[in-house]
Amino acid sequence: MKIVALVDHEVRSEADPQFESQSKDEHGLMERCVIQALRRRGYETLALPFGPDVRKTMDALVEHSPQLVFNLTEHFEGDRRKDSHVAALLELLHLPFTGTGPSGLMLCRDKATCKRVLGYHRIRVPQFWSVPLEKNRPAGRVHYPVIAKPVYEDGSDGISLASIVHTDEELRERLRMIHERMKQPVICEEYVEGRELYVGILGNDRLSALPPRELRFGNTEGDGPHIATSRVKWDKAYRKKWKIEYTDAELPQPLVDRIARISKRIYGLLSLRDYARIDLRLTASNEVVFLEANPNPDLSPDDDLALSAIKGGMEYDALIARIAQLAARRSGLSGEVKE
């Protein structure tokens, strides 16, 4: 099968445009690992940057005429809200591609709408309030503490310890900061105490839940972090300082099975495809609370989805090939799929 790996243009190096080096440099590492895994599995794989000239990208896609596009893009023009635009363009070009389609991407990007949909279907979500740009407080009475965060971001962007607010004054200050710096609405969510779990899901018609991962907090007394802030996610030294680690979740099997069922239901309700990660909180009473869904999550070998797959007996190259297989079969290309 001929595959084009579509990447954000800034991660593609002129010195290594086809991601052939064995460098461990963090820049473009995820893309390099995915592309090389596809090649090791026997797929003819070409790396193609998306943008900054969209017409040039479109012409290149038409010229190369791939049987499948492995969509590794995360934004367009620096705006993560436009990741759905890339998927929509691929649909308009009638090119099969991996991952969630534009409607699912748009739904998951809007945290408030996503939670409204799931709440309607009786999935437990935190109580929340939306605050548009022109407002300086939520409508109605707020029950503190709450977490105030930008409604459209992912990767913990815009989330710090100051995101947990306990008073009207703290909330107004956080709203002002997000509105002014990030130019987007704010979602204020009930703070749910509990264990933070990440559940990887693979599939379309038939879904498989991977073994759950956990963000385990160590020194949480006093000023220690107990939410997945931006520094927790991206700063290894910070995690070491506070004894925070990403690890396999140790849970009794009946609870693992229940979490898997809930995660699969969320996956279907949000129109997710091929692969995704569902973020949850597990309370002391074993109540499962939805936090957010991550379509097309990070596929780095040391990130949660890949590590969950390995825990479940699927090596990294097999995971990447499996995602390509799922997208190909969903698109009617079963005759082209390599096992």
Task: Please enumerate in sequence order all residues whose Cβ is within 8 A of that of 53, keeping only pairs 6 or more positions apart, or say none.
Answer: none
For 193, other C-beta atoms within 10 Å of its C-beta total: 10
Residues 236 and 179 occupy one common structural domain: no
Tens digits of residue pLDDT in 265-276: 999 999 999 999
User: What's residue 25's pLDDT?
Assistant: 76
Final residue belonging to a domain, choices 59, 81, 98 = 98
Residues 70 and 144 occupy one common structural domain: no
In a domain, 45, yes or no: yes
What's the predicted TM-score (pTM) here?
Answer: 0.93
CA distance 177 to 149: 10
User: What's residue 51's pLDDT?
Assistant: 87
Final residue belonging to a domain, choices 98, 118, 145 = 98
In a domain, 77, yes or no: yes
User: What's residue 225's pLDDT?
Assistant: 53
Residue 267 structure tokens: 């996956």
Final residue belonging to a domain, choices 164, 190, 216 = 190
Residues 225 and 322 occupy one common structural domain: yes
In a domain, 265, yes or no: yes
Q: What is the DSSP string of 107-120?
A: HHH-HHHHHHHHHH
Q: Based on the structure, what is the number of domains in the chain? A: 3
Residues 9 and 22 occupy one common structural domain: yes
In a domain, 118, yes or no: no
Task: For residue 177, give the CATH number of its domain.
Answer: 3.30.1490
H or E segment to which residue 133 belongs: none
User: What's residue 229's pLDDT?
Assistant: 79
Residues of the chain with pLDDT under 70: 155-156, 219-225, 334-339
Between vectors from CA 115 to CA 112 and to CA 119, what angle results, nearest 5°? 140
Q: What share of the chain is helix, strand, coil (3-state, %, to 5)?
A: 40, 20, 40
Tens digits of residue pLDDT in 274-291: 999 999 999 999 999 999
Tens digits of residue pLDDT in 87-145: 999 999 999 999 999 999 999 999 999 999 999 999 999 999 999 998 888 888 889 99
In a domain, 112, yes or no: no
Domain that holds residue 182: 127-190
In a domain, 107, yes or no: no
Residue 156 structure tokens: 């913990």
CA distance 72 to 49: 10
Residues 271 and 257 occupy one common structural domain: yes
Residues 246 and 322 occupy one common structural domain: yes
In a domain, 288, yes or no: yes
User: What's residue 91's pLDDT?
Assistant: 97
Task: For residue 44, give the CATH number of its domain.
Answer: 3.40.50.20
User: What's residue 6's pLDDT?
Assistant: 98
In a domain, 270, yes or no: yes
User: What's residue 335's pLDDT?
Assistant: 59
User: What's residue 77's pLDDT?
Assistant: 84
Residues 312 and 219 occupy one common structural domain: yes
For 160, other C-beta atoms within 10 Å of its C-beta total: 16
User: What's residue 100's pLDDT?
Assistant: 98
Residues 327 and 216 occupy one common structural domain: yes
Residues 203 and 177 occupy one common structural domain: no
User: What's residue 166's pLDDT?
Assistant: 93
Residues 182 and 234 occupy one common structural domain: no
Residues 53 and 70 occupy one common structural domain: yes
314 neighbors 299 (Cβ within 8 angstroms): no
Task: For residue 273, give the CATH number of its domain.
Answer: 3.30.470.20
Residues 181 and 151 occupy one common structural domain: yes
Single-letter code of the amino acid located at 253: Q
Residue 76 structure tokens: 């367009």
User: What's residue 227's pLDDT?
Assistant: 82
